Every structure is written in C-alpha cells, then in structure tokens.
Amino acid sequence: MQVKYKGLPVYLIGYSEDSVFNNVSLVEFPAIEQDFLKFSKQEELKFSVDEEQRVVSGPVMIPDMLIYRKSKNGKEFYVKMESDTIKEFAVEFFRSGRENEGNVEHQLSVKGVTFFESYIKDGDRNIAPKEFEDLPDGTWFMSAKIENDEVWEAIKNGEIKGFSIDLRAPIYPEEEQEIDSVEELIDYLKQINK
C-alpha cells in the first residue's frame, strides 16, 4: 500500500545513472519553504549599504520534506528525497561543473552567480549552521557569490529569496513501512503529520 499525505500519493525521488541535474536556481518561492541568508561584511543578517559581500547562503534540499507537486496533466502528489539521495545530487552538481551556471526562476540563465560553497549538515561531524539548527542532518546547504547587479537588487528587494533545484530523476511510490517499536511509530506519525 502506498503512503499518502492529505489524500495524495507520496513519491521518493531517486538517483540513477539516467538522472539529470540541470541547475540550482535562485527563486522567489523555494519549494522547501526556507529562505537563504544575505550577509553584509560584518556577517550580520541584514544588508550593509557599504562594502556588501554579496553572498547568499541557505538550504537547497531538506531530507524527507514533503514537497507538493502538480503534473502537466493535473495529477497532484508529494515528493521527498532521502539524505543519501540528496548527497548524490550534491556531488553530481559539482561533478557536472555547474558552479557558474546560475539561473533565475528555472528559466533565465544569468552570468555573475558563482556557487562556491556546499555542505551537508552533519551534527556528528560538527557541520551545522546555527541559523538553521532546526533543520535535520542531511540537509544540503550552498553559498553563492552574486556579482550580477540585477540579481543582487532582486535579492535585496525580496524578489529572490532562496534556492531551488532543477532535475530529472526517477520517482518511486513510497511504500508503507513496517513499524517495530513505539518509538518508530511516533517518528513515523511525526513525519506524515508535518
């Protein structure tokens, strides 16, 4: 039996040799519902008119987060990605040399956006940004240097707020899992009730 959330099927995004990672896009409404941070020279969470670093940092993908989707034919469903799959796509992003291929809203390619930092949150290795401490281990974070004046103004004006990935990958129905303990049941219920 397939897992459902709010009456809609849930699919796992997988990684395979046929997966295509097109880009990380700068968007107004990230599907993961998390905005990035904008740093001034003093690294405060605000803009400084003078000597701006023009760096944005934030989450790209959050493991097991349910993301609503609607296909071209009107089918509604949710997708999610497990932490191991997120790590595969993070590696693929750099393997395919996409660090200088920024775009806006998955459509407009722009120059002057360089992705220079990437890491997977891992509490055991002390890799965890304090600004996003509520996000789980396995979350993929990136930072980008924004040298494009128009893109930077759009970020400052709140027209661009976060990162979004653009990929083609297999999806699989999430199957009901067998629950062996009360703790597993509580974890499962928390996950499907988010």
pLDDT, residue 45, reads 37
Domain range for residue 174? 4-192
pLDDT tens for residues 15-34? 888 887 788 888 888 888 77
Q: How many CB atoms lie within 10 A of CB 46?
A: 9
| Torsion-angle region of 53 (φ positive above 0: left; ψ -120 to 50: alpha; else: beta) | alpha
Q: CA-based Rg of the chain, rounded to a whole angstrom?
A: 18
Q: How far is CA 106 from CA 24, 74, 109, 158, 186, in A?
A: 8, 20, 8, 17, 37
For residues 23 and 149, the answer to whether their CB atoms sit within 8 Å is: no
Is the model more confident about 83 or about 43? 83
pLDDT tens for residues 112-165? 999 999 999 998 898 888 888 888 999 999 999 999 999 999 998 889 989 998
Q: How many domains does the chain have?
A: 1
Residue 177, pLDDT > 80, answer no
The whole-number average pLDDT for the span 33-42 is: 60
